């Protein structure tokens, strides 16, 4: 298909998705304060910088009071008390109003707190929008509700870097318990043909996303063999449990310096004879890395050379560690490993999408999962899948809980499968996750920000 015809189909699919977006947006009592907080982040680079610093400080916070104190100090350094409405003199009306609203969300009177502290508590309250619960059992009602509304899920266990073997073992135990709980919960859900099956067979209801870096403190680029040995037994046990429970185990990716160790370990274990029949499994591909096409070809070659009873899933994402990769490369004098131009990254994402769908249409036992909040990216995947005459259930779209809720509703309205990435964990541990998601989706070139500001849909759907 030529690019002009494909873009015409993208426009049609983009319009269908946009028409399916809930017209009222978020309908929750806290939505107003949250939207104002998002506007602060979009328009204030100093505030975003303060939140980046907060991600580094967060591991030192062992209670909510410490969390509030650290974030308060960073926010006040970013702009001063008077800038956020806590000074004695005249302040901006909107910021002052936001301060009072955020303070009310926490049950505290605005006069009892500096506004920065109120903002800190407001950010904490926003975390509930992203985090489904403290664990799978606590999130059971939310997970069932998502299923009943036509959305399957994958759970991610929140937590910071693993520093000891004990923490690695604890993370493995949490994964074990989560898989068992998900299998038990899913067994009670009503049948849903679009979510339960595709052209390659049944889709496991229990789906867990795992960070191999959390299984061991030794995952370092300069000691890959030690890392593999430390994580092998724990990941092996999780694969065996997923096979026993008929669950799906998905490996997440983080920074580039751990990608090779993680990929090598995961593919090595899956290639064992004991896993030929299952479990269902998959891995993440980060499109913002300039060598991700070579990585995809490596994965496709592995799938072709290792036939299994359960199809392999590749989740295509843009990537969430852009700043980390840029700063690390600059520090060491390395070539920057990520695309520095958003449009170039978007073009590459679409190229990888087509390669994945071509492989699926060519008969490879592969499940492409297109994870994005960009309507152009999602519409492009659907348009290209149609051009290849793939069945509607052949492509899975994925969004983040809290940020992709409206997008998920639009995908449902179009009759396509959507999976919601649901973090679970302690609120304090989830704050760093929350900040990364806010920063990722409130940048000036964010599609969500552009759509929310009233930009013309046809322009937003143009070829990057």
pLDDT for residue 59 = 57
363 or 61: which leads in pLDDT: 363
Q: Is the pTM of this model over 0.75?
A: yes
Closest listed residue to residue 126, CA positions, set 443, 433, 440: 433
Q: Are 144 and 451 in contact (CB under 8 A)?
A: no
From 104, 128, 152, the end of a domain falls on 128
Domain holding 365, by residue range, is 132-424
Q: Tell me, yes or no, whether 175 and 124 share the same domain.
A: no
Place of tokens 């702009």: 79
Non-local CB neighbours of 301 within 8 Å, separated by 6+ positions: none
Residue 304 Cα distances to 278, 299, 353, angstroms: 16, 9, 18
pLDDT at 353 (0 to 100): 98
Please tell me whether residues 173 and 74 are part of one structural domain: no
Please tell me whether residues 254 and 347 are part of one structural domain: yes
| Residue 196 resides in a domain | yes
Sequence-distant (≥ 6) Cβ neighbours of residue 170 within 8 angstroms = none
Same domain, 381 and 312: yes
The token pair at 359 is 């492989």
Q: How far is CA 280 from CA 46, 103, 274, 310, 420, in A?
A: 44, 46, 13, 5, 18
C-alpha 215/C-alpha 204 separation (Å) is 23
Q: Is 457 contained in some domain?
A: no
Structure token digits, residue 388? 């290849």
**Of 283 and 109, more confident:** 283
Query: pLDDT of 39-52, one tens digit each?
Result: 555 556 666 666 66
**Pairing state of beta strands 201-202 and 197-198?**
antiparallel
- The answer, yes or no, to whether residue 100 has pLDDT greater than 60, is no
Domain-ending residue, one of 128, 146, 180: 128
Q: 356 and 208, same structural domain?
A: yes
Please check whether residue 34 is in contact with residue 400, taking contact to mean a CB–CB distance below 8 angstroms: no
Task: Please name the residue that has the structure tokens 């946009």.
Answer: 18
Query: Which of the 8 DSSP states describes residue 198?
Result: E
117 with 137, same domain: the answer is no
Which of residues 96, 128, 160 is at a domain's end? 128
For residue 239, what is the domain's CATH number?
A: 3.20.20.220
pLDDT score recorded for residue 187 = 97
Look at residue 239 and tell me whether its pLDDT is greater than 60.
Answer: yes
Please indicate, yes or no, whether residues 67 and 138 belong to a single structural domain of this protein: no
In angstroms, rounded to a whole number, what is the distance separating the alpha carbons of residues 201 and 280? 11
Please state whether 268 falls in left (phi above 0), alpha (psi between -120 and 50) or beta.
alpha
Report how many domains make up the chain: 2
Answer yes or no: is 54 within a domain: yes
Whether 177 and 49 share a structural domain: no
Same domain, 209 and 63: no
Residue 194 in domain: yes
pLDDT tens figures, 156-182: 998 766 888 899 999 999 999 999 999
pLDDT band at 429 (very low <50, low <70, confident <90, very high): low
Is residue 283 domain-shared with residue 170, that is, in the same domain?
yes
Q: Quote the pLDDT of residue 91.
A: 32
Indicate whether 267 and 319 sit together in one domain: yes
- Which uninterrupted H or E stretch holds 404? none
82 DSSP assignment: G
Q: Does residue 26 form part of some domain?
A: no
157 & 291 share domain: yes
Confidence of residue 81 (pLDDT cuts 50, 70, 90): very low
265 belongs to a structural domain: yes
Average the pLDDT over 369-379 and give the result: 94
Q: What is the mean pLDDT of residues 307-315?
A: 96
Asked if the structure places residue 142 within a domain, the reply is yes
Does residue 374 lie in a domain region?
yes
SS3 call for 239: helix
Q: What is the pLDDT of residue 445?
A: 47
């Amino acid at each position: 298909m030529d690019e002009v015809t494909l873009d015409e189909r993208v426009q049609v699919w983009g319009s269908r998705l946009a028409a399916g977006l809930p017209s009222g947006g978020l309908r929750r009592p806290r939505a107003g304060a949250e939207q104002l907080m998002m506007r602060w982040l979009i328009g204030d680079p100093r505030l975003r910088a303060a939140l980046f610093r907060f991600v580094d400080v967060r591991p030192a916070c062992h209670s909510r009071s410490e969390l509030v104190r650290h974030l308060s100090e960073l926010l006040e350094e970013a702009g001063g008390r008077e800038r956020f409405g806590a000074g004695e003199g005249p302040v901006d009306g909107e910021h002052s109003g936001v301060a009072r609203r955020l303070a009310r969300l926490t049950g505290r009177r605005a006069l009892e707190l500096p506004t920065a502290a109120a903002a800190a508590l407001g950010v904490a309250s926003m975390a509930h929008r992203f985090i489904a619960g403290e664990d799978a059992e606590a999130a059971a009602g939310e997970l069932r509700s998502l299923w009943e509304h036509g959305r399957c899920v994958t759970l991610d266990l929140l937590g910071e870097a693993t520093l000891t073997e004990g923490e690695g073992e604890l993370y493995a135990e949490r994964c074990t318990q989560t898989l068992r709980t998900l299998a038990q919960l899913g067994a009670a859900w009503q049948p849903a043909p679009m979510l339960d099956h595709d052209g390659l067979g049944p889709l496991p209801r229990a789906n867990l996303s795992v960070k191999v870096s959390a299984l061991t403190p030794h995952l370092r680029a300069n000691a890959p063999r030690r890392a593999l040995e430390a994580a092998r037994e724990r990941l092996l046990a999780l694969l065996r449990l997923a096979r026993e429970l008929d669950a799906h185990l998905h490996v997440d990716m983080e920074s580039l310096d751990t990608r090779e160790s993680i990929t090598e370990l995961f593919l090595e274990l899956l290639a064992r004879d004991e896993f030929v029949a299952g479990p269902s499994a998959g891995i993440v591909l980060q499109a913002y890395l300039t060598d991700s096409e070579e990585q995809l070809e490596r994965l496709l070659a592995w799938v072709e050379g290792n036939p299994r009873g359960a199809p392999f899933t590749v989740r295509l994402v843009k990537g969430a560690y852009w700043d980390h990769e840029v700063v690390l490369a600059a520090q060491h004098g390395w070539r920057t490993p990520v695309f520095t131009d958003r449009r170039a990254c978007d073009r590459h994402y679409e190229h990888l999408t087509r390669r994945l769908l071509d492989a699926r249409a060519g008969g490879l036992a592969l499940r492409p999962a297109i994870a994005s909040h960009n309507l152009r990216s999602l519409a492009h995947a659907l348009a290209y899948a149609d051009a290849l005459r793939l069945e509607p259930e052949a492509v899975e779209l994925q969004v983040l809980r809290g940020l992709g809720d409206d997008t998920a509703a639009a995908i449902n309205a179009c009759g396509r499968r959507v999976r919601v990435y649901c973090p679970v964990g302690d609120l304090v541990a989830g704050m760093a996750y929350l900040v990364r998601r806010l920063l990722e989706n409130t940048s000036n070139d964010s599609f969500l920000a552009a759509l929310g500001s009233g930009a013309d849909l046809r322009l937003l759907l143009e070829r990057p």
